């Protein structure tokens, strides 16, 4: 593992590290904020999965999460959103290929060799964190933005018992019925839609639900609102009687200005579960 | 107007009053909590509309709202849920007739003469409060439980500009598609369903939305959950991108133990709008 940078931040340390990944067969980079409390022993961790076009860096620099994570003594991990490198397949569109891994294991050409972001985020990176840093893997929580919200929701429902709390900012809620989803799931997983269901938060909510508290914020002025299919997940949550809070936030859009506004609430929410 | 009782309560006064009503043609009884601040001038008011089988008394004695209304200096008004008296039509069922007015103006026999709860709550009682008590009618908010949640939502969407904030506990969300609704709207309004739409929160949300902040709490273990149709309103809110917070509260049922648990949050929510 290589240290790309380390900066003192809110009494703790904001690091950026890279490592050769078994899952993707590429060098992968991630951001990790360790609060001051990590000097005394393992701390809980909140994963932040990012959206389309993002790297590990966007949320790390723009979400403002460290200020509140440091108050509670929570680590923050910011994975990348896809494999990178010259030999990694890509597409001219911003929403397919690099920066658009959709947190799945691709089975189709040309994506299958490297686009295994589910395995990377679900298995490899947590294992690496537990071995290399003072992180308490018994206390994990997850959040994400847009495509990363999709990732947070699908990972949480796909890995029961893993996360003590789950939240999302403007998540893609039903990729099987959105242009943010059908194109990508078709490309990565192929035309057999039965393989898509494990990556659709609404279908997962209908089928199995979530074993952790859930908080979702989405802006009423989200410029991508039609692509998110929030109404499908809202209906599924109410029908299942899933414990959850869904907030339609007046006037907010899809940007990090929206995310940073509600990050304090999300850290409060996750802290309550992580320190219960 | 007759004073039935007045009790000192959280530094203010919990009164119960009755008066002959033009709307219903009967004597009507209501509860009114005035906080201590009412001694110095008009105070804002939060309406609490009650559910099936309730009188003015249930929420007044069991919701625990006075503790928090007194902290903010907010009056609370608890209307009855139907006309009462020997010459008022009734039905053997608990959910039709007395205690089940559904906040509509009945047009059908035998209900039409007295069951005019919309007019009573929307027009007559506010006017009476404004004339007889130090209530600031420019600062009104509304909440309700079950059938009263239905009333709060439909009154608020039917009277744009009236309420600065709107909340509900386990509201009936779509009476036109529930056994808590089709029977009553059919009885009171007749078979022409076009007249029902003004009394269906989901249809109103689809058609016009709400011009005020909205908070809804419903328990995941609500024993009447199937009758509430929360999923229909949740979908309509998200589709419309209506500013709102919908919370599915883990393990709570339909009782006043549920209502009293979240009354503090609702008073906080309404106070923010009433004192903005």
Q: Which of A217, A222, A266, A270 is catalytic?
A: A222
pTM: 0.90
Cα angle B147, B249, A262; round to 5: 115
- Enumerate the residues of chain B whose CB falls inside 8 A of the CB of residue A230: 238
Please write the tens of the pLDDT for every residue from A204-238.
999 999 999 999 999 999 999 999 999 999 999 99
Q: What's the whole-number average pLDDT of chain A? A: 97
Please write the tens of the pLDDT for every residue from A108-146.
999 999 999 999 999 999 999 999 999 999 999 999 999
Q: How many domains does chain B have?
A: 1
Q: Is B222 considered catalytic here?
A: yes
Q: Please tell me the predicted confidence (pLDDT) of residue B4.
A: 97
Q: Is A222 considered catalytic here?
A: yes
User: What is the least distance, in Å, from the CA of A238 to any CA of chain B?
Assistant: 5
- Average pLDDT score over residue span B114-137: 98
CATH code, domain carrying A170: 3.40.50.1820
Q: Are B96 and B65 in contact (CB under 8 A)?
A: no
Please write the tens of the pLDDT for every residue from A44-85.
999 999 999 999 999 999 999 999 999 999 999 999 999 999
> Is the Cα torsion angle A91, A201, A104, A169 positive or negative in sign?
positive
- Average pLDDT score over residue span A171-198: 97
Q: Is B40 considered catalytic here?
A: no
Please write the tens of the pLDDT for every residue from B47-94.
999 999 999 999 999 999 999 999 999 999 999 999 999 999 999 999
User: What is the least distance, in Å, from the CA of A204 to any CA of chain B?
Assistant: 16
- Enumerate the residues of chain A whose CB falls inside 8 A of the CB of residue B237: 231, 234, 248
Q: Distance between CA B15 and CA B37 in Å, rounded?
A: 15
Please write the tens of the pLDDT for every residue from B168-205.
999 999 999 999 999 999 999 999 999 999 999 999 99
Looking at chain B from residue 215 to 244, which residues have their Cβ under 8 Å from any Cβ of chain A? 218, 220-222, 225, 230-239, 241-244
Q: What range does the domain containing B146 cover?
A: 2-274
User: Is the ipTM value over 0.90, yes or no?
Assistant: no
- Average pLDDT score over residue span B150-155: 98
Q: Which of B150, B222, B266, B270 is catalytic?
A: B222
Of B221, B238, B245, the CB nearest to A230: B238
Q: Distance between CA B166 and CA B148 in Å, rounded?
A: 12
Tell whether A7 lies on the interface with B, counting CB pairs under 8 A. Answer: no
Using DSSP, state whether B262 is helix, strand or coil: helix
Q: Please tell me the predicted confidence (pLDDT) of residue B32.
A: 98
Q: What's the whole-number average pLDDT of chain B? A: 97
H helical segments located in A159-224: 182-189, 201-207
Q: Are A32 and A75 in contact (CB under 8 A)?
A: yes
Of A221, A238, A243, the CB nearest to B231: A238
Residue A11 neighbours by CB distance under 10 Å: 13
Instruction: Answer whether A245 sits within 8 Å of B246, measured CB to CB.
Output: yes
């Amino acid at each position: 593992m290589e240290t790309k940078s380390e900066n003192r931040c809110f009494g703790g340390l904001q690091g950026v590290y890279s490592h050769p990944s078994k899952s993707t067969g590429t060098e992968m980079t991630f951001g990790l904020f360790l609060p001051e409390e990590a000097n005394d022993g393992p701390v809980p961790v909140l994963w932040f999965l990012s959206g389309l076009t993002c790297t590990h860096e966007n949320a790390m620099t723009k979400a403002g999460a460290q200020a509140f994570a440091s108050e509670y003594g929570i680590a923050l991990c910011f994975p990348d959103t896809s494999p990178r490198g010259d030999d990694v397949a890509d597409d001219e569109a911003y929403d397919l290929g690099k920066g658009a891994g959709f947190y799945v294991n691709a089975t189709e050409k040309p994506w299958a060799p490297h686009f295994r972001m589910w395995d990377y985020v679900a298995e490899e990176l947590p294992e690496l964190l537990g071995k290399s840093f003072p992180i308490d893997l018994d206390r994990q929580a997850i959040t994400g933005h847009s495509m990363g919200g999709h990732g947070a929701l699908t990972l949480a429902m796909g890995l029961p018992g893993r996360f003590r709390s789950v939240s999302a900012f403007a998540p893609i809620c039903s990729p099987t019925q959105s242009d943010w989803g059908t194109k990508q799931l078709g490309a990565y997983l192929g035309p057999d839609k039965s393989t898509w269901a494990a990556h659709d938060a609404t279908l997962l909510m209908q089928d199995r639900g979530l074993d952790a508290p859930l908080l979702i914020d989405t802006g009423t002025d989200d410029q991508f609102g039609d692509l998110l299919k929030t109404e499908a997940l809202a209906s599924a949550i109410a029908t299942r009687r899933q414990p959850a809070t869904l907030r339609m936030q007046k006037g907010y859009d899809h940007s990090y200005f929206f995310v940073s506004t509600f990050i304090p609430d999300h850290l409060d929410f996750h802290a309550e579960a992580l320190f219960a």
